Structure 1
Amino acid sequence: MSHESDTPRDLAPSTLRLAGIQIRDPFVLTVAETGTYYLFGSTDKDIWRGPAEGFDCYRSADLEQWVGPIPAFRPPAGFWSDRNYWAPEVHAYDGRFFMFATFTAEGVRRGTQILVSDAPSGPYVPWGDGPVTPREWECLDGTLHVDEAGDPWIVFCHEWAQVWDGEIVAQRLSPDLSRAIGEPLVLFRASEAPWVERLRHPRVPEDVAAYVTDGPFLHRLASGGLIMLWSSFGGSGYAMGIARSASGRVQGPWVQEDAPIWARDGGHGMIARTLDGGLLLTLHQPNETPLERAVLLELEETAETVRPSPRVA
């Protein structure tokens, strides 16, 4: 893989700590060859109503001090989406870096588009013909999973706003990640998790039970087991739970843990590998714009799941 110098193209970088970076849906890419971490996330100042500018990233050698913002994606002329740029993830795959991110536009259903770059910080450009999630569905938060046979999948959310009981769905991707192949497979619904509570929202009729699915991320345990982080709303607000595949395959069936791994007004996380081989849980907290910040926690792994390290206060 080729790596560039990460020289910003339209912003002057500075050195920051996480407390100084407004970001949602944090995702850490670890590039061991250069000893560098890259932090991506939803970085527009108001991702709900404000103008969509793109995605920035930050780089670090120690997870403490971060250099940025570095423009990772700016929409090219004629790009189909003009709002709600959400939750970018970056995965090293087949010698390049692929960004999975959520976009929407007036009259166009929300979906996950894949972008590509030769360098971890970008610039990323569209890959394939628009979203790879089903065009007639409201979808978000696509993530890459490469199965035990080496075949790529996208795992994503079929949004509560369309189906009320939000779904986690898997679909095969072509080997070059340019398009989806096969039929989407519903893995589970939000209401199956004991810790998830009904969503109270102006768009939800009083006689309808709505449940949220957000931010799936799959992790292969050292034991060979397969788990998935995903987020919803619990008794203390936004939260993140764990599901486990009983078969060890993405097709499941998936079994929900009784309690969330994070229950206190935060979520949409992933599991990163540190340069020394440890595991790191990311999430944003609080779940309120513009106060959201990235939180990084050490993880301990068992044969069946992961838990925050006892060393974490």
Structure 2
Amino acid sequence: MRLPDMPLHDPFVVADEATRTYHLYTSNDPSVSGVEGVGTMVYRSDDLRDWTRPVVVFLAAEQDNLWASEGGWAPEVHAWQGRYYLFTTLHDENSPLPVPPTGHWGTPFRLANHRRGTITAVSDSLLGPFTSVDPARPTPPERLMTLDGTLYVDPSGQPWMVYAHEWLQTVDGTMEAIRLAPDLTGTIGDPVFLFKASDAPWIGEGIPAGVPHQLPPYVTDGPQLYPAPDGSLLMLWSTYEKNVLGTDGTLTGGYVQTYAVSTSGALHGPWVQRRPLVREDSGHGMLFRTFEGQLMMVLHRPFENARGKLYEVELTGDELRVLRQRVDLDGGG
């Protein structure tokens, strides 16, 4: 299989040096895996061009007493203390959360909220099977509607889960972090606010003159943390630009891949927002290095019926720059 033929959303690549194999994780798609159910599957390749048919490594239905059975979004796999940990987002639309006050945003955004959050599962193999470490609840606080949890280990060795706090609950989506227990099986303390989606100054640049610029909602998606050579800390994340005014007066815009920089190198920031890296309805990207040492970014495009797209990128100081799209690998588009 090749990337143009591979349905995938929210791609995450693990380049396994031991086997010289790239593992590309995404939500289970029964049409290609042959396995029904919400979960995670993985494609494998030794050259980023030709991929095996996917293998299912996690199924929600196979977990004992799991709190949710919908979603299976944004799977990531991280090596930690000799084992592999899967993060993936589940939700339960039949388990409502309290709707918070709308405050100055007004009544149009009193949206229904339901239980959603990233779970943690563990395996001794990159090919699973992965087993939930706490079937009763998501890893972030369950009163919050969250998604897209990712692992970050700070310079002291403290593991964190960084996640997006849903605009459905906050209207202006945020990025937050919470300390994880040393074995990643629980959390320590309260969440820490990092930044909000509307902090990106370019998010409404295309709004026609005379239209108020601060129009909600604002979306946060897909965080990934990456240390820069100069000691700063990068976060890839995705959102929607608000640059098209519809006939009904609402603003819409394309999905974009962007990033932010903590020049202090600390997770708590302060975070400075940079210009988008890729537009064209693209996003939820992550960085990895090839076995030859090239820094790559993988993302999905378009948002619906998505395929994986690969870019060679360069990190100089704290500036991330796209060098070229690898159309020889991903088919272009």
Give the TM-score of the pair, scaled to structure 2. 0.81
Is 2:79 the counterpart of 1:73?
A: no
Q: Once the two structures are superposed, what CA deviation does each residue of 1:105-132 show, in whole Å capped at 9, x if it has no partner?
A: 1205101100111111211110135311
Instruction: Please report how far the alpha carbon of residue 175 of structure 1 lies from its aligned counterpart in structure 2 after TM superposition.
Output: 0.6
Is 2:129 the counterpart of 1:123?
A: yes
Is 2:274 the counterpart of 1:254?
A: no
Q: Is the partner of 1:19 in helix, strand or coil? A: helix
Alignment of 1:273-288 (within 5 A): 273-288=289-304
Alignment of 1:1-313 (within 5 A): 16-44=1-29, 52-75=37-60, 76=62, 77-105=64-92, 106-107=94-95, 109-128=115-134, 129-197=136-204, 209-234=216-241, 235=243, 237-257=254-274, 259-288=275-304, 291-310=305-324
Q: Is the partner of 2:54 in helix, strand or coil? A: strand
Gaps in structure 2 of 5+ consecutive residues: 96-113, 206-213, 244-252, 328-333
8 Å CA contact retained: 1:168, 1:186: yes
Q: Is the partner of 2:52 in helix, strand or coil? A: strand
1: CA distance, partners of 2:318 / 2:222: 21
Q: Is the partner of 1:25 in helix, strand or coil? A: coil
8 Å CA contact retained: 1:22, 1:45: no
Q: Is the partner of 1:162 in helix, strand or coil? A: helix
Q: Is the partner of 2:11 in helix, strand or coil? A: strand
CA RMSD of aligned residues (A): 1.9
- Aligned residue identity for 2:264: S
8 Å CA contact retained: 1:197, 1:211: no
Instruction: Please report how far the alpha carbon of residue 197 of structure 1 lies from its aligned counterpart in structure 2 after TM superposition.
Output: 4.3
2: CA distance, partners of 1:224 / 1:246: 8
2: CA distance, partners of 1:310 / 1:31: 24
Instruction: Please report how far the alpha carbon of residue 33 of structure 1 lies from its aligned counterpart in structure 2 after TM superposition.
Output: 1.1
Instruction: Please report how far the alpha carbon of residue 172 of structure 1 lies from its aligned counterpart in structure 2 after TM superposition.
Output: 0.6
Size of the aligned set, in residue pairs, is 283
1: CA distance, partners of 2:200 / 2:166: 16
2: CA distance, partners of 1:208 / 1:285: 25
Instruction: Please report how far the alpha carbon of residue 222 of structure 1 lies from its aligned counterpart in structure 2 after TM superposition.
Output: 2.0
2: CA distance, partners of 1:208 / 1:217: 26
Instruction: Please report how far the alpha carbon of residue 194 of structure 1 lies from its aligned counterpart in structure 2 after TM superposition.
Output: 1.7
Q: Is the partner of 1:262 in helix, strand or coil? A: coil
8 Å CA contact retained: 2:311, 2:325: no
- Judged with a 3 Å threshold, the aligned counterparts in structure 2 of structure 1 residues 308 and 168 are, in CA distance, closer, same or farther, namely same
Q: Is the partner of 2:172 in helix, strand or coil? A: coil
8 Å CA contact retained: 1:91, 1:98: yes
2: CA distance, partners of 1:178 / 1:253: 28
Give the TM-score of the pair, scaled to structure 1. 0.86
8 Å CA contact retained: 2:173, 2:196: yes
- Judged with a 3 Å threshold, the aligned counterparts in structure 2 of structure 1 residues 208 and 222 are, in CA distance, closer, same or farther, namely closer
Aligned to 2:246: none
Q: Is the partner of 1:161 in helix, strand or coil? A: helix
8 Å CA contact retained: 2:84, 2:122: yes
Q: Is the partner of 2:4 in helix, strand or coil? A: helix
- Judged with a 3 Å threshold, the aligned counterparts in structure 2 of structure 1 residues 310 and 269 are, in CA distance, closer, same or farther, namely closer
- Aligned residue identity for 2:238: S
Instruction: Please report how far the alpha carbon of residue 45 of structure 1 lies from its aligned counterpart in structure 2 after TM superposition.
Output: 6.4
- Judged with a 3 Å threshold, the aligned counterparts in structure 2 of structure 1 residues 311 and 237 are, in CA distance, closer, same or farther, namely closer
Runs of 4+ in 1 over 4 A off after TM superposition: 310-313
- Judged with a 3 Å threshold, the aligned counterparts in structure 2 of structure 1 residues 72 and 36 are, in CA distance, closer, same or farther, namely same
- Judged with a 3 Å threshold, the aligned counterparts in structure 2 of structure 1 residues 197 and 111 are, in CA distance, closer, same or farther, namely farther
Q: Once the two structures are superposed, what CA deviation does each residue of 1:128-154 show, in whole Å capped at 9, x if it has no partner?
A: 353111110100000000001111000
* Same amino acid, percent of matched pairs: 43
Which sits farther off after the overlay, 107-116 or 159-168?
107-116
